[in-house]
Structure formats: C-alpha cells, structure tokens
Amino acid sequence: MKNQPTSLPRRRLLQGGAAALAAAGLSGRAAAQSKPLPGYVSWKDGPSMIVHSSNTLETKRSAFGLSVLTPASKLYIRNNVTPPDAAIVGDRDAWSIAISGVKSPATLALRDLKVLGASSVAMVLQCSGNGRGFYPHKPSGTKWTVGAAGCVVWGGAPVRAVVESLGGLAGGAAYMTGTGGEKIPAGIDAKSVIVERSLPLSAMNDALLAWEMNGEPISLAHGGPLRLIVPGFTGVNNIKYIDRLAFTAKPTDARIMATRYRMSPLGSKGSPSQPSVLEMSPKSWINSPNPEHSSLRAGWHQIHGVAFGGMNGARSVGVSLDGGGSWQEAQLVGPDMGQYAWRQFVLPVNLKAGSYTLVSKVTSTDGEEQPRERPENAGGYNNNSWLDHGVKVTVA
Amino acid sequence: MKNQPTSLPRRRLLQGGAAALAAAGLSGRAAAQSKPLPGYVSWKDGPSMIVHSSNTLETKRSAFGLSVLTPASKLYIRNNVTPPDAAIVGDRDAWSIAISGVKSPATLALRDLKVLGASSVAMVLQCSGNGRGFYPHKPSGTKWTVGAAGCVVWGGAPVRAVVESLGGLAGGAAYMTGTGGEKIPAGIDAKSVIVERSLPLSAMNDALLAWEMNGEPISLAHGGPLRLIVPGFTGVNNIKYIDRLAFTAKPTDARIMATRYRMSPLGSKGSPSQPSVLEMSPKSWINSPNPEHSSLRAGWHQIHGVAFGGMNGARSVGVSLDGGGSWQEAQLVGPDMGQYAWRQFVLPVNLKAGSYTLVSKVTSTDGEEQPRERPENAGGYNNNSWLDHGVKVTVA
C-alpha cells in the first residue's frame, strides 16, 4: 500500500474495551428493500439497491464498502429506453458497429474489434442526474441521492486504435457521435427517443469500445455486448449496445442531445444553446456512518466515502463533522486506479453523544474544489454540492 | 489512461478488410468443462473454470480478460482442509478473532475491527503451487498450470492499526502467526491438519484483516467472514476464516508450516531447515492467443497477458514469438493498482501461417527478471519460469 493505513490511538481500546466496540453498531445492515428487483436484473444484490422503477435502480450508501470498485451486482441502472432483447448477448462476437467519418468507413463485428486493440480503464460511471433528489424545486426525473454512480473497470479496444485502422478521421470531423442499438417501435419519431449523443472530438482520446466490465462480458443491463466508454463523461454519454459511431461535423439533432441533458435555467426548457451535460466535476460523499445505521454508539468510528475529480484525480479530501464549520483532512486509502476512478477516503473520529452533520469536500489534482452549492438548473443535473451530499447522524 | 492504447498500422484494415478480421477466431470460446462445479461454489462461472477436485479449481487462461481484476466468479479455489460450515457467514459481524503477543491481548469481533481501521489493497492471490503442472518430476499435489492465481481487491482493517489499538507488540515478537478457523475432527492430531502459518514480522506492515473482496463480503469459499491478507505472499499465507492472530517468538510447529510448503531438494522430504514458501517472485504469462482457441487465422492479433513483480510492481514485459529467441517490448495497459497487483500487457502482432511459441518475461520495478528456468524443488512450488508458461499456437 502506498498510503499509511489509518489507526486509532492505543488508549482507545485500553479505555473502551471490546464491549463498547461490540455496541458500535457499524454493521452495515441495510434498510428494508422498497420494491423487488426487475426480472432483467434479478442477479443484482437486492439489499444493496433502491429500486425507483424498472429502469432506475440506485446503490445504497451502505453498499459501497471499501474496495474501490463497485461490483456489477451493486451498480446502478438507468435506462432511457427499454433495453434490446437479451438475444443480442447470445452471440456477442457477431454484434456489429458501423463506423463512419473515417477515411475507410466500415461495419465491424465485435470479433473484428478484438484484434484492433486491447486496453482497459477504471472510471466513475455516474448518471447525469445523480444527486437530483437534493434539488428543492423537484425537477422531473428520478430523485437519485448518491447512488446513481459506481467505479468500474472497462476492457475493450481504444477508439483511437479503431479509427487509425480505418485510415484516420475524414476531413471536417468535430464530434464523436455514438448511437445506441435500442429498437425504435414503429410509428414513433426516431429522433424523439433514439439514444444518440455527440461529444467533442477530444473525448475520443481515452474512449474505448468496450466488451468487458469488471472482468466479465458486459451484461445486457449495463450495455453489452458493446458499449462506448468515454471516461470522465456522465453516464448518458457512454452509449449502450452501440451500433453506430460517427465522426461528424455537427452534433446530432436527436432530442436526447438537442434539448435534453442541458443545463437549463430554472423554469426554462432545454435548448441547443444551453450547455450540454458532458464532463463530470469534482465530487465526494460519505458512505459511513450514514442514516441507514439503526444506531450509532459513542466511541471511535471510521468515517469513509468516495471522492473523484471528474476529468482529473482526487488530490485531497476534507471532512467536517459540523456541516462545514471546521474541516479535517481525511486519508486516501487503497489503490489509485487513475485519473477517472474514484478514491476512497477514511477519517477515524471519536464521536461523543450528539447530532452531527458529516460532509466531505474533494479537491482535484488540478486544484478544482467541490463547491458548497449545487449548480442550479431545471433538470437537476450535475449536482456536486458538498452540502447536499452530507449526512445527519445521531450518536447515542 | 496513463498509457497510449495499442493500435495497428492503418494498412491493416485497408489491406485485409473486415472479412479477414471476422475469421480471426479470437472469440475466447472456452473448452468443454471437465467436471461440474462443486455445490459450495456453484455460483462460479463454470465455463471459466477447470475443476481439478472439489477443493481445487483453476481459472482458464481464456477467462482472465482485460480488466485487471479477477471477478470472484472466476477466481481459483484451493482449500487445504474442508471449509467450515456456511453458518459462519450467517452473522459475519459476530465472527471473532483472538489476538495475542500484543500488550493488551483481546478477542475482537468483526464488528470491533470495523471501527479500528479501514483500508484496501489490490493484490495477486496465487497458490504456492501454481505452475506445478509444468514440473516434469510430477510432484504430488494439484497440477495447476497458470490459473491458480487472480488479482483482487481486499478491504478491511490494517493489522498495524489493530496492533496499535491493543497497545503495540509485546516484547520478543518475531513472527506473525495466523490460524484458520476450520474445525478439526475429533481424534485427529490438530497439528497435522491445522492451517497455521508463521510469517516474518515485516509481513505485518501491509497486512489486512479483511472482510471484503472485490467490494462484497468475502464468500465462505474465499475465506469469509474474515481473512488475513498478506500482500506479496503466496495463497496459503493468507489465512481463511482466521480466528487467531499471534505475534510469537518462534514459528508454529504445525505440519503445514514445519514440513509442508518448503523448497525441498528433489527427492527429499520437507523440513524446517529448508526455505519456506512465502514471498512471490516476478512472473508473467500470456492469456491470449492460447491453445484453447479452436482456430487462429493469419493476420493481426493482440497478444495479451498478466505480469507482476511479487513484492514489487511490474516495470516492463518482453514478449517473444519464437520461444525466447528474440523479444519485443509489450505495452502495459489499464490501471496500475499498486505494487502487489498485476498489470496487463498487450502487443499487437501480425502473425503469418505457421507455429509459434509465445512467451513473456517481466522485469519488476526493482530490476528482478523473471527467470527462464523453474526453481527445482520436490513440491513443485513457486514456478515462475517464463519458458514453462509459454503457449504454442498454430496459425492457419
């Protein structure tokens, strides 16, 4: 380990004894589950999830643990459209993707991609609306708290390698436009529902066409057999079941790009003139202790949580027990999986009986600080307010 | 990504076209499974595993993929003794461990440990006998090839923090001795079967008492509810279901320490005077292409595999197509998870029809090179010969 592990003063146990420890109550027991898991994700760990709807499942704070990566069994689900039929993961290597805007456009099967390149990246996958539940104006959409996010490893072919193999970019390319392979029902205007997003060309640099997540073939629920992975960009930009990748002069006019996922002023509708929801910003939150704990006893606790910088790594994390009045520096622990991953932070504290507002604040490696206030916008996107993400706990 | 992704020359696709690619055959299809999964690990991914016996399961080369970490569903199993009853993971927080050789000896429940410290470490977990199958003298024990190893993340309390909380080490401690909680049947000499290992005190520095693996509570099969994790040391030293941790002046005289897991000269029996199997040495192997592929077609391939340094990270990896006659430097890809983790390496190659002996050789960050020859010993331990771990493939 690169970092010193956290430790407690020796007087802790000498004074308190095991009985006090045994009563500490940090057992991570989960609250009762609200709704059953939908059938297509019946393999998820039910007690770790909050089921908002069949297409929106959130990870509980208590489920993130200490191991950096989020297992597939606990990773959130958010689908804009009903997923394609499971038959598409029956013969994964036969899945194909049409690539255009390159000098030699081609349709490649997944088995073709496997000989074009091989790499992997650890990254925070986070829904654009994670934290929406903290907006007082109650935007439409799922009221996520912290758990529409996870840190996972993707394996696949670098987009740059694929593009190079097809002769490089054609002239005039300014956007990387990915399109999901969801079936559009007949009679519906495709532009109104198709999942198609245009990203700045720079997003190509670290992007993958991925067929693995956490060492396994990507499940249908998470976008398998093939998903566009754009590290640092919010979830919607990481196109599931991707079947078209186009390097285009203009962004798509699909509704999900043109008017949705925009940072619209309160009370206004989305429009292409408003900033799009793309790169993530620095964010952190505390996972333990948390209000899911049925009881917290006075004594030592290990406050821990996750912190990331968005497009850059986490450099340091401050933790406050009084809602931001005073701060202590937490320790970053465990493996540093690169600039797009999150780190876990730990702070040992001796909590006396009373009420606490625990908050955390990350500073990224380029010096950007997680803000106190949420970015106000009609859709409730990109909430990274440290104040919103705090937890109130009572110690008996 | 810190590293450049691999890529192929643009002429590759312009010349070969998608048809040639489609025929490349790198589909990772697994060979038929030999034996069914034992009931207690029925949740493993059968097609990824070679079942040697109910207590010994190996991961296939084709199952390691590109994502650095090995999911629990594919991680090898090797039990020295039949695991305890599954009831012990029914109330994980109640599991207790007796700690002695410290100034204030105590028995702590898992819930106690959770307030004493929190950290995580990514590490290669490798059976001491991994690679035994390549020894021509046919040592007794499982004939592992490459797959009695995986890279996983453990979360738990640092042993140092626990010791500090108990007043620090008592005088005279020279070994960290961990004991497994397996039930010893009546009428059997406990010393002959108990899983108890004594490690040099320095092993304490990065050790964890772990309750998580890859973000989930450790399964019974992998040593839950509590496992001693000693990064850099072979599997047997990472005591499952640990219920005693003692800091002792002398090593245990349990058979598994005294005479087993010794680097014994060929033809001799194990004895305490011989070197014990403890720290791992630099090792790498190629996972793809491999002989499990039913056909390999001429054209571009991405050779990939894993490499680690044992007690240090992997600095560089050479790959040879001709059994070590000439070498090319591969590229390390994906997240660097620290000194005890493995890295994945990739080398794009254009293979013409013919036969190839693909081998890889890692050099660790402290300059130690993976050797050509296996370390000869009666038990077939610690095999890190690059020649043994090569693969022969035929390209049509």
B38-63 pLDDT, tens digit each? 999 999 999 999 999 999 999 999 99
- List pLDDT tens digits, range B366-379: 999 999 999 999 99
Any CB–CB contact under 8 A between A344 and chain B? yes
- Residue corresponding to tokens 């643990």: A65
Res. A113: pLDDT tops 50:
yes
Domain containing residue B98: CATH number: 3.90.420.10
**pLDDT tops 90 at residue B13:** no
Of A2, A206, A215, the CB nearest to B67: A215
Q: Is the Cβ pair A1, B231 closer than 8 Å?
A: yes
Residues of B whose CB is below 8 A from A93: 27
Predicted TM-score (pTM) of this structure:
0.91
pLDDT over 60 at B7, yes or no: no
Of A9, A22, A107, Cβ closest to residue B109: A22
B61 in a domain, yes or no?
A: no
If asked whether residues B127 and B238 sit together in one domain, one would say yes
The secondary structure element, H or E, covering residue A156 is strand A149-158
* Residues B162, B305 within the same domain: no
Question: Residue A239 — very low, low, confident or very high, per pLDDT cuts 50/70/90?
Answer: very high
Contact list, B14 vs chain A (CB under 8 Å): 104, 167
Contact criterion met (CB < 8 Å) for B118 and A71: no
> Which residues in chain A are contacts of B336 at CB distance < 8 A?
336, 338
**Helix, strand, coil fractions of chain B, as percent rounded to 5:** 15, 30, 50
Residue for token pair 């009084």:
A322
Is B216–A73 a contact, with Cβ atoms under 8 angstroms apart?
yes
Distances, alpha carbon B77 to alpha carbons A265, A318, B72, B121, in Å: 56, 41, 10, 20
Dist CA B254 CA A216 (whole Å): 39
Q: What's the longest Cα–Cα distance across chain A? A: 73
| Most A-contacting residue of B13, B73, B95, B308 (CB-CB within 10 A), to test interface | B13
Chain B nearest C-alpha distance from A257 (Å):
26
Of A10, A64, A165, which has the smallest distance from its Cβ to B12's Cβ? A165
Give the angle subtended at the CA of A121 by the CAs of A116 and A122, to the nearest 5°: 160
pLDDT at B264 over 50: yes
Give B294→chain A minimum CA distance, Å.
14
Mean of all residue pLDDT scores within chain A: 91
B138 and B252 share one domain: yes
Contacts of B116 in chain A (CB under 8 A): 7-8, 12-13, 21, 300, 302
B2 pLDDT band, cuts 50/70/90, is very low
| Each residue's pLDDT tens digit, B119-137 | 999 999 999 999 999 999 9
Cis check: omega of the bond before A225, within 30 degrees of 0? yes
pLDDT at A80 (0 to 100): 87
Is residue A387 a part of any domain in this protein? yes
The pLDDT tens digits for A332-389 are: 999 999 999 999 999 999 999 999 999 999 999 999 999 999 999 999 999 999 999 9
- Number of domains forming the structure of chain A: 1
- Contact: A165, B10; criterion CB under 8 Å: yes
Q: In angstroms, rounded to a whole number, what is the distance separating the alpha carbons of residues A28 and A31?
A: 9
Is B123 found in the same domain as B90? yes
In a domain, A135, yes or no: no
State whether B170 and B294 are in the same domain.
Answer: no
- Any A CB within 8 A of B14 CB: yes
Rounded average pLDDT over A150-173: 97
Partner-chain contact A348 B117, CB within 8 Å: yes
Look at A67 and B167 and tell me if their CB atoms are within 8 Å: no
Q: Do A5 and B160 touch (CB under 8 A)?
A: yes
Query: Taking CB atoms and an 8 Å cutoff, what residues of chain B touch A97?
Result: none
In this predicted structure, the answer to whether residue A17 has a pLDDT above a threshold of 50 is: no
Lookup: tokens for B205: 């520095």
Which pLDDT score is estimated for A249?
A: 98
User: Among A56, A57, A28, A53, which residue's Cα sits nearest to residue A45?
Assistant: A57
Encoded tokens for B130? 């991994």
Count of pairs with CB atoms under 8 A, one residue in A, one in B: 287
Whether B111 sits inside 8 A of A24 (CB atoms) is yes
Percent of chain B with pLDDT over 90: 87
pLDDT, position B81? 87
Q: Does B45 touch chain A (CB under 8 A)?
A: yes
- Could you tell me if A211 and A218 are in contact, meaning their C-beta atoms sit under 8 angstroms apart? yes
pLDDT of residue A6: 41
Q: How far is Cα A120 from Cα B337, in angstroms, rounded to an integer?
A: 12
pLDDT tens for A187-232 read 999 999 999 999 999 999 999 999 999 999 999 999 999 999 999 9
Residue B88: inside a domain: yes
Give the Cα separation of B365 and A309 in Å (integer): 28
A1 falls in which pLDDT band (50, 70, 90)?
Answer: very low
Residue A286, helix vs strand vs coil = strand
* A163, two tokens: 């593009």
Instruction: Quote the minimal CA–CA distance from A365 to chain B in Å.
Output: 15
Question: How far is A303 from chain B, CA to nearest CA, in Å?
Answer: 9
Q: Does A203 touch chain B (CB under 8 A)?
A: no
Distances (CA, A) of B355 to A377, B297, B323, B377, B380: 62, 12, 11, 31, 29
Question: Mind listing the pLDDT tens digit for each residue in B207-258?
Answer: 999 999 999 999 999 999 999 999 999 999 999 999 999 999 999 999 999 9
B44 domain-assigned: no
Candidates A68, A112, A341; nearest CB to B22 = A112
B247 plus B131 within the same structural domain: yes
B-chain CB neighbours of A65 within 8 Å are 155, 212, 215-216
Is the peptide bond between B225 and the residue preceding it cis, with omega within 30 degrees of 0?
Answer: yes
Q: How far apart are CA A315 and CA A363, in angstroms?
A: 6
Please, where are the H alpha helices in B122-189?
A: 159-165
Rg (CA), chain B: 22
Q: Cβ(B322)–Cβ(B356) under 8 Å? A: yes
CB distance B165–A109 less than 8 Å? no
**A381 lies in a domain?**
yes
**Interface contact flag, B114 A302, Cβ < 8 Å:** yes
Place of tokens 């060492």: A215
The helix (run of H) or strand (run of E) holding residue B191 is: helix B190-193
Nearest CA in chain A to B69: A215
A271 Cβ under 8 Å from any chain B Cβ: no
Amino acid found at B230:
V
Give the contacts of A29 (CB within 8 A, at least 6 positions apart).
Answer: A62, A292, A293, A294
pLDDT value of residue B362: 98
Is residue B20 very low, low, confident or very high in pLDDT (cuts 50, 70, 90)?
Answer: very low
Interface of A with B in 20-39 (CB under 8 A): 21-22, 24-27
Asked whether the beta carbons of B360 and B386 are under 8 A apart, the reply is yes
Judge: A12–B302 Cβ closer than 8 Å, yes or no: no
The residues, any chain, with a CB within 8 Å of residue B99's CB and separated by 6 or more, are B105, B106, B107, B108, B162, B163, B166, B244, B245, B246
Domain identity same for B235 and B286: no
Q: Are B234 and B96 part of one and the same domain? A: yes
Please state, in angstroms and rounded to a whole number, the distance separating the CA atoms of residues A203 and A233.
8
Q: Is residue B100 classed exposed, middle or buried when 0-12, 13-18 and 19+ CB atoms within 10 A define those classes?
A: middle
Q: Identify the residue with better confidence: B80 or B31.
A: B80
Judge whether A297 is closer than 8 Å to chain B, CB to CB. Answer: no
On whether the CB atoms of residues A80 and A53 are closer than 8 A, the answer is no
Instruction: Kindly report, residue by residue over B141-191, the tens digit of the pLDDT.
Output: 999 999 999 999 999 999 999 999 999 999 999 999 999 999 898 999 999
Query: Taking the CB of residue A315, how many other CB atoms lie within 10 A of it?
Result: 18
Model confidence at B14, in pLDDT bands (50, 70, 90)?
very low
User: Is residue B387 predicted with pLDDT exceeding 90?
Assistant: yes
Among A317, A313, A296, CA closest to A305: A317
Contact (CB<8Å) A107/B346: no
Question: According to the model, what pLDDT value does residue A34 have?
Answer: 66
Q: pLDDT tens digits, residue range A19-57?
A: 333 333 222 333 444 689 999 999 999 999 999 999 999
Which domain covers residue A356, as residue numbers? 11-32+280-395
CB contact under 8 A, B45 and A206: no
Look at residue A292 in the predicted model and tell me its pLDDT.
80
- Dihedral sign (CA B93, B151, B7, B391): negative
Q: Same domain, yes or no, for B325 and B186? A: no
Together in a domain, B299 and B211 = no
pLDDT band at B80 (very low <50, low <70, confident <90, very high): confident
Q: Work out the minimum CA distance from B189 to partner chain A, whole angstroms.
A: 33
CATH no. for residue A19? Answer: 2.60.40.650
> Which chain A residue's Cα is nearest to B112?
A21
> For the residues of B19-40, what is the DSSP string, one character each?
HHHHTS----PPPPPSSPPPGG
Q: What per-residue confidence (pLDDT) applies to B29?
A: 35
A12: nearest CA partner in chain B:
B165
Rg (CA), chain A: 22
Is B92 found in the same domain as B207?
A: yes
- Whether A338 sits inside 8 A of B1 (CB atoms) is yes
Distance from CA of A307 to the nearest CA of B (A): 15
pLDDT of residue A5 exceeding 70, the answer is no
Cβ-nearest to B164 among A10, A18, A212: A10
ipTM: 0.90
Cβ neighbour number for residue B215 with a 10 Å cutoff = 28
CB of A294 less than 8 A from some CB of B: no
Cis geometry, peptide bond prior to residue A9 (ω within 30 degrees of 0)? no
Same domain for B103 and B188? Answer: yes
Task: Please return the burial class of B90, using the count of CB atoms within 10 Å of its CB with bins 0-12, 13-18 and 19+.
Answer: exposed
The residue that leads in pLDDT, B40 or B291, is B40
| A1: nearest CB among B121, B168, B333 | B121
Strands B49-53 and B242-248: unpaired
Across chain B, mean pLDDT equals: 91
Please check whether residue B311 is in contact with residue B280, taking contact to mean a CB–CB distance below 8 angstroms: yes
- Alpha-carbon gap: A253 to the closest alpha carbon of chain B (Å): 30
B105 touches chain A (CB under 8 A): no
Q: Residues near B375 by Cβ (< 8 Å), separated by ≥ 6?
A: B263, B381, B382, B383, B384, B385
Neighboring chain A residues of B26 at a CB cutoff of 8 Å:
111, 114-115
pLDDT of B34: 66
